Chain A
């Protein structure tokens, strides 16, 4: 296990370095110049040079890269070109919003997806399976932004069940925080829920026809144990993989969802930074996102070994 973990951490470090290089170069390949954007109307060469000097933009890319990396390694992500505020603080306030939104979305999607998938598999060929399948198809084909707008229109504006926008930090008022986030999380989770449902259904069908299920039945175990334990535990291996693979889609979905519900999260920060050519913020945002993605994938891999002992042992070998 330790060797496996070490191997994975090493892989993660390489990925992170590559991601940093790609982002650094990518940002600078974008058309547009932050100094120009910052100087606004007053574009005399003197002030442009001053701005470039202040933010190190007059240095070569190599020097800039080294400065970025060496500062980032010490936890200093630089200052926003736009506002002058430390990037670390901006990320510190935006990241929790997105993390909470994503975690809630995954939770909601897993509960709905796994539940509906199990029902669809167990009640195969009956109306409840058709209903679950139809819902999944709907969840996959309806885009977030439309669903989000409709939810705001009907659930928030017409019925007043949820706030249409805004955010309250969890620690200042947990109830209000959840009230604000439930609807965005539900919208963000619909696609994932549909994918999880379909995957759970098909892997449950496989599991239910397996020999060990016949054994479980021959042992006289109650259905909740045969289905909920013996079959589901085996199906979850595939489901966890899918959730891991879908996280990328979830993060990009969070950008859209945060825009719709005006949540001050990572998505908003990213979009604003890109429009303003705020190099330090873009770089930091992507660095943090890539780190999060790598960490989550590592966690998913470790989760496999909790669910499936065969993977655990192979890692030991």
Chain B
């Protein structure tokens, strides 16, 4: 799992992650959350990182710009336009956060500071990174609110977060994130906490930003519907490792890792399961690993496990559609 996931991107990748590992010190000893994860994101590309809760996808996202707590040890390499971020000093990271790499979080209810107006919170990014004065920051903030589809932005700019609905707050988060036109937008479960009808609107905003500003997006989600809607490529994570990666249509049509196939089978979709009316579940839970074993971490739950799976760790295969599995699904699966 050492090389980049997709060698096929035409332009140079904006974000290059190589062998990223994260370990947390806990009272019960070290816990490995992310294990040698590698991926690349091209200019204007949307990469979805998919997996169950606890698979390490959010930790991966946080580690990219050094947002993890002090109990975390991060190894490997994260390059943004060739600049190494792992081990970079705090000052450098601060100039990159919000300006080059921006974040959107899952909970728009709590991610905005309740005691400052949304205009102040957006303007703060502009004043910090671009040095705009108060008036210029305010004007630009109004433009940004319009960009993310907030009606009567001139009035809304003086609102406090509690005066806005969940969907509006998430739009404010997005406006704040794209304020400095970042190269990479990391969206950590941006629609999970929202109603389905609101979700679609947020995804539309993200899609439009990608088209208008050419922002690359790393989309962290467990929702395959969101992936199908927005992503160009998908990296499937399981227990801290990337187990499969492919272009989105290819992955949905021909999942090769049994875990990916299981995820797709567990996801409801119109027209499928018409006869059984039941979703297939993957038995068991994602393990918490104090150390990464030299084996496939999915072997315990895998219906296709063979002897090799518990004895040796599989590497990602080369090519456009890469999978780390000793006994991958080759035939078109019925999910």
A binding-site residues for B, Cβ under 8 Å: 210-212, 214-222, 225, 230, 233-234, 307-310, 313
Complex CA–CA separation, A212 to B110 (angstroms):
6
- Which residues of B in the span 131-181 have a Cβ within 8 Å of any Cβ on A? 160, 162-163, 173, 176
Q: Report the stretch among B42-50, B112-120, B246-254, B276-284 that lies at the interface.
A: B112-120
Do A211 and B110 form a contact, CB below 8 Å, given A219-B176, A220-B128, A234-B115? Answer: yes
A-chain residues with CB within 8 Å of residue B116 when the two chains form the complex: 230, 233
Q: Is the CB of B107 within 8 A of A310?
A: no
Complex CA–CA separation, A225 to B67 (angstroms):
16
- Which residues of B in the span 180-203 have a Cβ within 8 Å of any Cβ on A? none
Q: Report the stretch among B30-38, B89-97, B287-295, B312-320 that lies at the interface.
A: B89-97
Complex CA–CA separation, A313 to B160 (angstroms):
10
Give the distance to chain B from A129, nearest Cβ to Cβ, in Å.
15
Q: Is the CB of A218 within 8 A of B103?
A: yes
Contact of B125 among A210, A214, A220, A313 (CB under 8 A): A220
Q: Is the CB of B160 within 8 A of A219?
A: no
Q: Is the CB of A219 within 8 A of B67?
A: no
Complex CA–CA separation, A219 to B96 (angstroms):
9
Give the distance to chain B from A97, nearest Cβ to Cβ, in Å.
37
Complex CA–CA separation, A308 to B162 (angstroms):
11
Q: Is the CB of B112 within 8 A of A215?
A: yes
Contact of A220 among B107, B112, B117, B129 (CB under 8 A): B129
B-chain residues with CB within 8 Å of residue A233 when the two chains form the complex: 113, 115-116
Contact of A310 among B96, B99, B111, B114 (CB under 8 A): B114
Q: Is the CB of A234 within 8 A of B128?
A: no
- Is the C-beta of B265 less than 8 angstroms from some C-beta in chain A? no
Q: Is the CB of B99 within 8 A of A212?
A: no
Complex CA–CA separation, A220 to B115 (angstroms):
19
A-chain residues with CB within 8 Å of residue B124 when the two chains form the complex: 219, 221, 225
Q: Is the CB of A211 within 8 A of B98?
A: no
Give the distance to chain B from A215, nearest Cβ to Cβ, in Å.
5
B-chain residues with CB within 8 Å of residue A215 when the two chains form the complex: 103, 105, 111-113, 173, 176
Q: Is the CB of B96 within 8 A of A212?
A: no
User: Contact mask B41-64 → A, CB, 8 Å, 1/0?
Assistant: 000000000000000000000000
Q: Is the CB of A212 within 8 A of B111?
A: yes
- Is the C-beta of B324 less than 8 angstroms from some C-beta in chain A? no
Q: Is the CB of B98 within 8 A of A220?
A: yes
B-chain residues with CB within 8 Å of residue A212 when the two chains form the complex: 110-114
Which A residue sits closest to B160, measured CB to CB?
Answer: A309
A-chain residues with CB within 8 Å of residue B99 when the two chains form the complex: 220
Seed contacts A218-B103, A233-B116, A309-B160; 18 additional CB < 8 Å A-B pairs: A210-B110, A214-B67, A214-B105, A215-B173, A218-B97, A218-B105, A219-B102, A219-B124, A220-B95, A220-B99, A220-B129, A221-B128, A222-B94, A225-B124, A233-B113, A234-B114, A308-B115, A310-B160
